[in-house]
């Protein structure tokens, strides 16, 4: 079996698997529109057509807002997002998933995909906090408290950027934590705390901010914290490369940066 056939077969499988989540995250439901809806640009070179963006789970809320703003600024475009842990997104890219751009929550994942992407640009930064139940019933005050054997702590898996950052800050403070579960992305960690299935978890500050009615956020001092970089890049397999490039460039522009700052992300 040739390598080309194997890659095409893998891409077909991934495409089928992504259909439902992509539909759920937005996009164009007008199936009757003809193929030129996905064209890369109008004759004038303006961004146009459908765009599929693979994005880190921690960008779920803010990118939905950003997508609407991009479409408003660029009539004729339609942006669809697929959100997952950065390691899952990397696997999708490597398997040939049909998409136009990628935004991860760390540079390590993006750097590992250089053969599949254009040049990347950091569009935002983030930091960690400890998420606890509303009112912080267990009185968690710092990282050391997470070592309490009576506390149910949940972390993201070590291959997930937020899980790697979490272990980085814990190891630096020589704190041993035995999580009750290891989750596939930061939103899954947050959900465990929201539902009361965990007493505490380490998440991004921006994720905790989306659930202030259900969780409290305990700040981690700068000297003990880790900063997450969010790089964005086009995908070489994009069928709408000009619009993909326009979107990645737009993410560093004033309107997108205003939206990201409003959601609590730091300047790149």
Strand 101-103 and strand 153-156: pairing?
unpaired
CA within 13 Å, CB half, 105: 35
Dihedral over Cα of 93, 4, 114, 69: its sign: negative
Contact 87, 185 (CB under 8 A): no
Neighbours of 61 (CB within 10 A): 15
CA dihedral 56, 61, 65, 66 (to 10 degrees): -20
CATH 3.40.190.10 for the 127-227 domain, yes or no: yes
CATH 3.40.190.10 maps onto the chain at: 3-125+229-262, 127-227
CB half-sphere exposure, 237, CA atoms < 13 A: 19
Query: For 3-125+229-262, which CATH superfamily applies?
Result: Periplasmic binding protein-like II (3.40.190.10)
The pTM of the whole model exceeds 0.85: no
SS3 of the chain: helix, strand, coil, percent, to 5: 40, 25, 35
CA distance 212 to 207: 9
**Residue 218 pairs with which residues in a beta bridge?**
130
φ, ψ dihedrals at 176, nearest 5°:
-100, 120
What's the angle, vertex CA 101, arms to CA 98 and CA 102, rounded to 5?
105
Q: What would the two tokens of residue 50 be?
A: 């459908």
* Residue 44 pLDDT: 54
Rounded distance, CA 2 to CA 192, Å? Answer: 44
The per-residue pLDDT string of the chain (268 residues; one tens digit each, 9 = 90 and over) reads: 443 434 444 444 444 444 344 433 444 444 333 334 444 444 457 899 999 999 999 999 999 999 999 999 999 999 999 999 999 999 999 999 999 999 999 999 999 999 999 999 999 999 999 999 999 999 999 999 999 999 999 999 999 999 999 999 999 999 999 999 999 999 999 999 999 999 999 999 999 999 999 999 999 999 999 999 999 999 999 999 999 999 999 999 999 999 999 999 999 9
Confidence at residue 36, expressed as pLDDT on a 0 to 100 scale: 42
In a 3-state reduction of DSSP, which class is residue 161?
helix
For the chain, the C-alpha Rg in angstroms (whole number) is 19
How high is the pLDDT of residue 200? Answer: 98
For Cα atoms 121, 204, 249, give the angle at the middle one, nearest 5 degrees: 20
């Amino acid at each position: 079996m040739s390598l080309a056939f194997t890659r095409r077969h893998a891409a077909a499988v991934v495409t089928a698997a992504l259909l439902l989540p992509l539909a759920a995250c937005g996009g164009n439901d007008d199936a009757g529109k003809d193929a030129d809806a996905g064209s890369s640009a109008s004759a004038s070179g303006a961004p146009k057509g459908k765009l599929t963006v693979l994005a880190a789970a921690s960008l779920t809320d803010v990118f939905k807002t950003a997508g609407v703003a991009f479409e408003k600024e660029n009539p004729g475009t339609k942006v669809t997002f697929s959100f997952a842990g950065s390691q899952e997104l990397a696997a999708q890219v490597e398997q040939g998933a049909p998409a136009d751009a990628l935004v991860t929550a760390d540079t390590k994942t993006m750097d590992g995909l250089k053969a599949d992407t254009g040049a990347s640009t950091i569009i935002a930064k983030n930091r960690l906090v400890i998420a606890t139940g509303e009112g912080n019933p267990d009185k968690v005050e710092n990282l050391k408290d997470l070592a309490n054997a009576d506390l149910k702590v949940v972390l993201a898996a070590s291959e997930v950027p937020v899980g790697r950052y979490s272990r980085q800050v814990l190891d630096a403070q020589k704190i041993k934590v035995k999580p009750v579960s290891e989750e596939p992305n930061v939103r899954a960690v947050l959900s465990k705390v929201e539902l009361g299935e965990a007493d505490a978890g380490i998440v991004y500050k921006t994720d905790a901010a989306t659930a202030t009615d259900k969780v409290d956020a305990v700040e981690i001092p700068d000297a003990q914290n880790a900063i997450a970089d969010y790089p964005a890049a086009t995908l070489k397999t994009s069928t709408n490369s000009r619009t993909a490039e326009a979107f990645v460039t737009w993410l560093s522009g004033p309107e997108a940066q205003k939206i990201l700052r409003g959601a609590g992300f730091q300047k790149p």
